[in-house]
A and B are shown apart, each in its own frame.
Chain A
Amino acid sequence: MSADHGVGEVSLRRARWGHGETAFWLIAIAAIFVFSDRYLILTEMAWLGLFALSLDLILGYAGIVSLGHAAFFGVGAYAAGLLAVHGIVKEPILALVVAGCAAMVLGFATSFLVIRGSELSQLMVTLGIALLLRELANKFSDITGGFDGLQGIVIDPILGLFSFDIFGKVGFIYCLVVLFVLFLLARLIVHSPFGLSLRAIRNNPLRAAAIGIPVNRRLIAIYTLSAFYAGIAGALFTQTTALASLDVFSFERSADLLLVLVIGGAGYLYGGLIGAVVFRVLQDMFSSWTPQFWQFWIGLVLVLIVLIGRERMYRGVMWLPRLAMRRMTSLSRSAS
């Protein structure tokens, strides 16, 4: 990067759609045809990726740490389930939006609590909110079905045309399309001036405030948006599995989500998606080794990642691709 490039130019170039990104989504589409017997796990990767994307928006871009992101996931999941059970909104896509909005309202309401205070009290408050919601869902079992979860969720065909099949092909394509649309939206947002101001806040809130960025309002906005994304992810979970039980709010879900994002890396949007794929593959592998005790290996991965250091890990992983890139550019240069 030479010195004559202004900040605006650099951020514009970063915002441009790259070949790597085209390749990523082509691979995702190819998965529909290649792994036609693994639709269920692919679907899981898709909504988990969206869920991680929503955490990335607040953690990677705004620097808000959350230990209770499952709160919004759970609200989205229960909202979608209730809408389907009581036949309030029959059409899945519409129900998806309604469920996302329900989570968004909660996100807006709780954002005032979360943006206050240090990282520690952020952790506490987010964790507390998730536990509180779990307790609520447990106590109001006449609405939520308590420990057994919601019974009798039947999802209507999407747009009245495509009904969910037992192999999960429609479900996966549906999740993938939703993921892609929301990803594009997130991409647009983080590369907008709004997104840049968020990054300024993450790097130094005091300085950001000094140059006239309304710090609190920006944080509330992104937290609310992130809640919307998490709610959609939860609704996708309910719609594709026809399940909504108490464990949508569980602490493990929030903790696993952090791991997903850490595996993929925060702050460039693809981290959550890549992390979701790697996490599900790992989880599958661990649970085939030791069915009941796969969580041990997840814990080990977390501990190792921190001990190695996240920065160092990414450098290690990227070493080979970077080397290949350098070889290629030097080859093409010598050829010309």
Chain B
Amino acid sequence: MTALLTILFDGVAYGMLLFVLSCGLAVTLGLMNFVNLAHGAFAMAGGYICAVLVNQSGVPFFVALPMAFIASALIGLVMEQTLYKHLYHRNPLDQVLFTIGLVFMAVTVVDYIMGSSQIFIHLPAMLEGQFNIFGIGVGRYRLMIIVICGLLTLGIQLTLANTRFGSRLRAAVDDPRAASGLGINVPQVFALTFAFGSGLAGLGGALGAEILGLDPYFPLKFMIYFLIVVTVGGSQTITGPFLASLLLGVADVAGKYYVPKLGAFVIYTVMIVILIWRPNGLFGRVAQR
């Protein structure tokens, strides 16, 4: 029983992390139908920036996290304005080729600068180890992830539901043409959202370095996870990817614990089955476009 709860706890932490990592991708895909396979590269950027700040410059971990967010968001903004912007109306094949190219470049550049071995971020002592609540082992670091990611999710949800920017964004997702007809500056909304999504990915990369491991192949290794979250969750809402992330996180941790021989096999099978069963995603609205 306690093992089960620990798995659930770890799975939820993992799932929350995946959500923060991939919700930017969900928006990119939902808003502009853009297949951004290079999303993981922004996460990796955030992770490495945080690692350099903490390990080499001695910046405290909790200061480095927002800096990783801001830096990745800026990188995202620059990339969007210079490169991505021109590709929104191309077919998916072009977008896929382009972003694969970016991934290859990002992987080798990081490999060149930082070396190919895995990097660890020195954590403050208060985040290490675990404590017991009713006999359940709760890792401090994972608890922090749940708290931070939970707050972020809540913030994102409230922003989307209650602010003016959120309603603009939702309008632009639903129907970009009608939205621009109503005077919403869709390209600007998109640029800001892209930057924010990249920032979140960067923050996720920094937070996840401890759990997921950080090396130059990060964007390739976790690409499929981001894509699963988005395809299973659908890209129309933010709740869909959130639930999908939790499901994926728990399934992955449980799968690796109970049937280690099958490993990641469980997840890929689940994804394919879900895509056959509901091609628009588990929580996606049917026949949108």
Q: For B112, give the chain A residue with the smallest CB separation.
A: A293
Smallest CB separation, A301 vs chain B (Å): 7
Q: How far is the CA of A127 from the CA of B226 in the complex (A)?
A: 13
Q: For B279, give the chain A residue with the smallest CB separation.
A: A117
Task: Assess the B86–A255 pair: CB atoms within 8 A.
Answer: no
User: Does residue B227 face the partner (Cβ distance < 8 Å to A)?
Assistant: yes
Q: For B116, give the chain A residue with the smallest CB separation.
A: A292
User: Does residue A196 face the partner (Cβ distance < 8 Å to B)?
Assistant: no
Q: For B107, give the chain A residue with the smallest CB separation.
A: A295
Task: Assess the A119–B92 pair: CB atoms within 8 A.
Answer: yes
Q: Which of A116, A117, A123, A306 contacts B94 (CB 8 A)?
A: A306
User: Does residue A299 face the partner (Cβ distance < 8 Å to B)?
Assistant: yes
Task: Assess the A303–B102 pair: CB atoms within 8 A.
Answer: yes
User: Does residue B111 face the partner (Cβ distance < 8 Å to A)?
Assistant: yes
Task: Assess the B100–A139 pair: CB atoms within 8 A.
Answer: no
Q: Which of B91, B98, B264, B279 contacts A307 (CB 8 A)?
A: B98
For the residues of B in contact with A, the DSSP-based class is helix
CB-CB under 8 A from A262, the residues of chain B are 97
CB proximity to A under 8 Å, residues B222-268: 223-224, 227-228, 231, 261-265, 268
CB-CB under 8 A from B279, the residues of chain A are 116-118, 121
Q: How many residues of B contact A (CB 8 A)?
A: 44
Task: Assess the B271–A128 pair: CB atoms within 8 A.
Answer: yes
Per-residue interface assignment for chain B, residues 89 to 112, with 1 indicating a CB less than 8 Å from any chain A CB and 0 otherwise:
011111111101111111111011
User: Does residue A77 face the partner (Cβ distance < 8 Å to B)?
Assistant: no
CB-CB under 8 A from A302, the residues of chain B are 97-98, 100-101, 104
Task: Assess the B272–A135 pair: CB atoms within 8 A.
Answer: no
Per-residue interface assignment for chain A, residues 267 to 308, with 1 indicating a CB less than 8 Å from any chain B CB and 0 otherwise:
000000000000000000000000011011011111101110
Q: How many residues of A contact B (CB 8 A)?
A: 42
Q: For B224, give the chain A residue with the smallest CB separation.
A: A131
Q: How far is the CA of A234 from the CA of B30 in the complex (A)?
A: 37
Task: Assess the B108–A295 pair: CB atoms within 8 A.
Answer: yes
CB proximity to B under 8 Å, residues A239-259: 251-252, 255, 258-259
> Given A124-B275, A295-B107, A299-B102, are A136 and B265 neighbors across the interface (CB < 8 Å)?
yes
Smallest CB separation, A19 vs chain B (Å): 32
User: Does residue A132 face the partner (Cβ distance < 8 Å to B)?
Assistant: yes
Q: Which of B90, B102, B108, B269 has the most CB of A within 10 A?
A: B108
Task: Assess the B111–A292 pair: CB atoms within 8 A.
Answer: yes
Task: Assess the A293–B108 pair: CB atoms within 8 A.
Answer: yes
Q: How far is the CA of A304 from the CA of B135 in the complex (A)?
A: 57
CB-CB under 8 A from B105, the residues of chain A are 296, 299-300, 303
CB-CB under 8 A from B263, the residues of chain A are 135, 138-139
Smallest CB separation, A269 vs chain B (Å): 18
Offer 27 A-B interface pairs, CB within 8 angstroms, sorted by A.
Answer: A113-B272, A113-B275, A116-B276, A117-B275, A118-B279, A123-B35, A125-B272, A125-B275, A128-B224, A131-B264, A135-B264, A251-B223, A255-B100, A255-B104, A258-B96, A258-B97, A292-B111, A293-B111, A295-B108, A296-B104, A298-B101, A298-B104, A299-B107, A299-B108, A302-B100, A303-B105, A306-B95
Interface residues of A (CB under 8 A from B): 59, 65, 67, 113, 116-121, 123-125, 127-129, 131-132, 135-136, 138-139, 251-252, 255, 258-259, 262, 292-293, 295-296, 298-303, 305-307, 310
Closest CB pairs A-B (n = 10): A302-B101, A299-B104, A296-B108, A299-B105, A303-B101, A117-B279, A306-B98, A132-B268, A299-B101, A293-B108
